[in-house]
Amino acid sequence: MHGKRKLRLHNHGETYEMNCPNFLFRFLPVPGIDWVGDVTIRCHETGLVAELGYIRQSFFGFGGNRRRIKGKIFDSLTMNVLYIVDGHWDSTVTLKDASNAEVRVIYDAKQILSGLHTPFVKDPENVWPTESALVWGELSQAIISNDWEKAREAKKTVEETQRILQRERESKREIWIPKHFIVSQSNEDGWSCSPIQKWVPDAPIVTL
What CATH number is associated with residue 177?
A: 3.30.70.3490
Residue 3 and residue 105 in one domain: yes
In a domain, 206, yes or no: no
Residues 80 and 150 in one domain: no
**pLDDT (tens digit per residue) in 185-198:** 777 767 777 778 77
**Are 108 and 130 part of one and the same domain?**
no
Select from 116, 142, 166 the last residue of a domain.
116
pLDDT tens sequence across 84-111: 999 998 899 999 999 999 999 999 998 8
- Within this chain, do residues 4 and 106 fall inside the same structural domain, yes or no? yes
In which domain, by residue range, is 172 found? 118-196
Where among 77, 99, 116 does a domain terminate? 116
Q: What is the pLDDT of residues 12-62, one digit of tens each?
A: 889 999 998 887 776 666 666 778 889 999 999 999 999 999 987 665 555
CATH number at 90 reads 2.40.160.120
Question: How far lies 72's CA from each of 7, 76, 80, 98, in Å?
Answer: 20, 12, 10, 10
Q: Is residue 205 part of a domain?
A: no
| Alpha-carbon distances of 79 from 45, 50, 54, 72, rounded to whole Å | 16, 11, 22, 11
Number of H helices, E strands in the chain: 4, 13
Angle between helices 148-171 and 137-144 (to 10 degrees): 170
Look at residue 171 and tell me if it is in a domain. yes
Q: Does residue 87 share a domain with residue 131? A: no
In a domain, 201, yes or no: no
For residues 64 and 54, give the distance between their C-alpha atoms in angstroms, rounded to a whole number.
Answer: 13
Q: Which residue, 81, 100, 116, sits at the end of a domain?
A: 116
Question: Residue 86 is which amino acid?
Answer: D
Kindly report the pTM of this predicted structure. Answer: 0.62
CA distance 49 to 122: 40
